[in-house]
Each structure stands twice: as structure tokens, then as C-alpha cells.
Amino acid sequence: MAHRTDALQQVEVPIRGMDCLECTHHVQHALAALPGMAAVQVYLTSEKAVLQMEPALIDLSGIRQAVEGAGYSVPLTPATPEVSSSAHTLASFTRPVLTLFGLVVGAVLLVVVAGEWLGIFERVTERVPWWLGTLLVVLIGAPIYTNVLRAALRRQIISHTLMSLGVVSALVVGQWTTAAVVVFFMYVGSYAEHFTTERSRQAVKRLTALAPQTARVEREEQEQEVAVGEVQIGETVIIHPGERIPVDGIVLEGQATVDQATITGESLPVEVHADSHVFATTIASLGHLKVRTTQVGADTTYGRVVQLVEEAEAHRAEVQRLADRFSTYFLPVVASIALLTFLVSRNPLATAAVLVVACSCSLALATPIAMLASIGAGAKRGLLIKGGKYLEALAQANVLFVDKTGTLTTGRPQIVDIVALAHLSEAVVLQLAASAERYSEHPLAEAVCRTAAEQHLPLEEPARFEAVPGAGVRALVGGKQVAVGNARLLSEAHQVGTAQDLEAQGKTLLFVAVDDEVVGVLAATDTVRPEVTQALAEVRTLGITHIELLTGDHEQAAARLAKELGIAYQANLLPEDKIALVKTAQAKGQVVVMVGDGVNDAPALAQANVGIAMGAAGSEVALEAAHLALMRDDWSLVPEALRIARRTMRTVKLNIGFTALYNLVGLSLAALGLLPPNLAAAAQSLPDLGILANSSRLLRAPSAPRTRR
């Protein structure tokens, strides 16, 4: 049945008790079966389900029942108070008691069994009646058996299904102590999975915990402290020194030093003042601010970052999807091996060991744990990675396309040459030009005035000012008619001999005239970011074989910059031309990375295998269009992203190889009768810890040194 997307409502449901991807699949299947459900996405790290449903069919109690029927829980919130049933209360009380009891008894039995092998506790367990031992095993394993039965009723096989069959096999042949030890290690394995998954959640939890819960708002000329959710757009928020800024906004009054590491990953603080943009969760120090609110809560830059990090696991890499599909067939294959073992050897203990030793959860965890570790670590450094599939693509990338203005360059033109004519000095030419341009808002005018200020030149107040669109300005300065602009503004501009040489270098020219006589030429250019040269050298060593500049700028400017950086270029491009070039490279089997400013390059960023947006902090377009956002304008983050991606994929492959080899050896030893069920149960718990230990290396910064200029 088709659902109209414009008629659907999004519902978020918190879920507790999920420890692995197998758990998310169970919850997803249970919720997908509800009437009116169009889409379900279950997130392990943020412990929630996001549902797309028809509004008329939303049934919160039905959603809760479906989740609880799958073996998990929906926590009660103050907004939806409910009285728990006596059965639910009893279950909540007895489950941890039985778990603790099972762990203690299992540990004691493990010591006893080990003692028997050493000849220390001979005939100890023989004094316990078989029926009492069996009852003990059933009692301590009740919570696990309940989940297995629930899964069986839904026609699902979970990892504990096979181990439970192993327990039954041990009981059938009278080995109740072995069965009890297997149950003990089932609990140990569950706690290992929970611990492993909890470590992967820490990045999201740390991000969420940074968000302020209250804000000081100026209402009726008084300062009131309210919940952040109650702050309205346009209200004035007051921030005292040392406080986290609770909203996105624009500074109205005050000046402060702000630590923006939570947004940009940059450790150095920035100075903010009137008209500066500030972001939620950043810390104001050494100053007092009044901020006009522009975004609140989930709509802030920080809120969008948290949401994207939470949802990153939905964008699964191909290697992760392969692991998920393999896990689906793994359990039936193990059951078949166990059956074959029994038919050939007639050894029920060997059969039980085969069922017990299989590690399906470790296969499911091999990829996402590594991916989530890298995504969380990247977020702390100002690298917002939207999912595992983009890490995988970035690790395979071999072509890099880059935009020019605002990406390779700062986006701020700078006066680099001053040519004085008519016996005037360079300082006089610059002073005349800056005086005429002082009221212009054009970026080139700002560059002229900035250069004059750097040289401490006094400016005159123009008596008359006129902006000529597309040409320049005219002003009356010191009783003289001064014009500053391009060749269209001045008829004599083409007679300046040095102009052609400067223009051939890709520079933008501003002619300065006094009383219609050209007295000087100013040459401006957009400066290259200082770290670009080193960053491009690093990406070449990381597998990028072709780097090409794609720009809408004119030929001379593109050629000059490309020659300076030693890369190929194409100029005079429209946005659709950039998309076509990306598609052409992809059609040749190349994996393309596109780096742009996230606004005018949005189409090409979306088309590339991996689109990287520069300086995405505060830019909604950049965060939405790109697959990877650099929260600050720092090109050194590009090679760092490549290093992270390659380290991640190496770790994933090592995790999968280790798990596959571990299962192969374990199943072989168990089938040959060389691995008893109790040791098989112990062995079953180890791969999860190995995957955690290996993946946790990704939380550290890449070891490759960088040279910053």
C-alpha cells in the first residue's frame, strides 16, 4: 500500500534494552507491522526509533506494545504518565535478581568444574540431584529463554537461540553443570555486547549533554531564566562570562572571547562583537553578551550536528550491508553444521559446543562499531561525517575536484599591486582610491580601504559619492573628481600599458582617475588559503591521483591559481557544467570527492561520491548538501578526513577477518569434539571485546604528522 509522504507525521520513540544491530532489526520488524506505518528507522547509538506514520493511525500504546513484544521497552516520560501493571513491575524486579543470581551461581560452578578437571572437586557435583540442577539452570536462564521464545514466536532466530539449544543438549545428556556454565557465559556475552555498544554511544551522549537546558531572556526589561525550549525567535538572550550560549543568534551588544570548539573543533577562541554570529553550546568568556535569537534547540547548528551524528548509522557502508546479510545466513548455517556434527559423531556435547561457540553478534558489530567510533571522533575535531558509506567511498577516492572562491581561496580579495602614474606616489593613488571607495559596499572597495588602513593612510570625506553598478564609483574628494572602477568606467583605461600584463596574470584591475585622467592602477586577487599547498601534497600521498580546479571564474584567474598549486583546471563553468564533469568521471569508474563552499556548489557536492563542504558552521545549505562537512575553514581537515576513512576501513576489514577466522576455528574445534560446551561458551564472548579494543584505536587522532603553515 502506497503512502503519501506529505500526509505522514514523524514520531520519535525512545527504546531501551538494545545492545546490538540484531536488536534494532527485531524492533524494526515489530514496528513495521503496525497499521499506517510508512517507514521505520531504528538507531542503536541514540536508542530511539523514528517512525513515519499516517497521523490518523498513530497509536502510542500500540507502539509501546509492539516494542515490548519484541523484548525491549519504551521508557515512561512525564508527558505520558502511565501506571505499570503488576506483571510488568514483577518482571522489572525479578529480571535483575535472576541475572545476578545466575552470574553468581555460574561463577561458582565454573570454579567447581575447573576444579574437577584438576582433580580438586571430584564428585562434588554428583551429590546434587539431576532434577535440582536442571531446575537451577532453568531458573537462572529464564530471562534469556524468554527472549528466545519471543523471537521463535516471531519466526526469528537470535544468537541466544543456538546457545539455548546447546543448553538443552547438555541437559538431555545429564550435564547440568555444563549447561549452567553456558548460561553464565551467555550473561557474560550479553554484558560484553552491552559494554561494547555503550562505548559506541558515548560520542552521541557527550554531544547531547553539552546543550544548555536554560537561558536568561530579557522580558519586560527584566532578566528571566527559562527553559531553552521556551525561548522565542527574535528574543534577546543574555550570556554572562563563563556560560554556554544556549541559542544561535546575532550579537546585539557586548564583546567576548568565545570557545567554538564544540562547533568547529578549533581549539583557539574567537573574538565576537556586535553583528557577530554565535552558536549554541559555545562558551563565552572574558565578556558579556546580548544576543538576538535566530535558532533554538534542534534547529541550531549544534542541534543539526547532533541529529546528523545520530542518523549517521542509517547510511550504511556496502561492507556493513554485506556483513548484515552474512549474519542473516550465519545462524542457519551453524544450525546445519550442528546437525551434521550430531549425525556423523553422535556426540551431543560436540553438537552443543557447535551451537554455543558461534559468534553472530560479533559479525554484526564488526563494521558499525568502527564506523561510529570514527564518526564520533571526527565530530569532536570539526569533521561532520554523515554515514559509514561516505567513509567507505572516501577511503576509495582517487579524484578530487575543488571549487575556487571560498574553497581554495579565502573569498576576500586583496590588493597585491599598486601602479602609480602621472608622477604620483603609490600611497597617494591608494589614498585617493580609498577615500572615494569608503562608502561602497563592494568586496573590492573593502579590500582597497583595508589596504589603506594597513598602511595607516588618512582618508578624506567625499563631498559627493555615486556608485555606478557594474563599473565602479565616482566621488568628489578634496575638490577633485575621483573615479575608481573597471575599464567600462574610464575611456582611457585601455591606454595603460601595464594593465594588460597584470590582467594576463589573472588579477582584477581597478583604474583610478582624477578629473578623467588615469593616475594609477590597483590589482586585486583572491588569496590562497595558507594551508592549501601542504594539504594538497598530503592528499596526493593518500591515494588521490588527479586534482582539478572547477571554477566559474575567468580563464586567466583559474590558470594562475592552477599553475601556483600544480593542478589541472577548467574555467567559466556553470553549476550544471560541474555536475556533468563529476558524472563523466564517475562513468569512468572513478570515485570522486568534491570540495566546495556548500552553497553555489551544492548540486556538485550532492552528485559526487563524497561532497565536502568548507566552513559549514551556521550554513544549513552546507550541512544538508554535503556528505562531509568541515565545520571550520581549514584545508588540513581534508587530508585528515582521508586518513580517518582509510584507518576506518582497515579496522573494519581487520574486525571482519578476525571474527570470521575466530568462528571458523571455533566451529571446527567444536565439531571435532576438541572444544567442550563450557569452553565454547567462554570463547563465544571474546570476539566482542576484541572488536571493541581494535575499534577503540579510531578514537585517537591519526598518527600521520602534519605541517601547518
Query: Hey, what's the torsion of the CAs at 374, 376, 377, 382, to 10 degrees?
Result: 120
Contact (CB, 8 A) for 60 and 51: no
- Cα of first residue to Cα of last residue in the chain, in angstroms, is 59
Q: Which three cell numbers stand for residue 76?
A: 515512561
How far apart, in Å, are the Cα atoms of 87 and each of 15, 83, 91, 100? 20, 12, 6, 20
d(CA 138, CA 121): 24
Helices 348-357 & 677-695 angle (0-180, nearest 10): 10
**Across the strands, what pairs with 526?**
413
Among the residues of 121-172, which ranges form H helices? Answer: 130-140, 142-153, 159-172
CA distances from 421 to 165, 416, 521 (A): 95, 17, 8
**φ, ψ for residue 302, nearest 5 deg:** -65, -40
> What are the E-state strand segments in 386-507?
399-402, 409-420, 464-468, 472-477, 480-485
Residues 547 and 533 sit within 8 Å (Cβ to Cβ): no
Question: What is the distance between the alpha carbons of residues 254 and 272, in angstroms, rounded to a whole number?
Answer: 8
The sign one gets for the Cα dihedral 311, 314, 318, 321 is positive
Just list the catalytic residues: 403
The single-letter DSSP state of residue 287 is E
Helical H runs in 78-126?
86-117
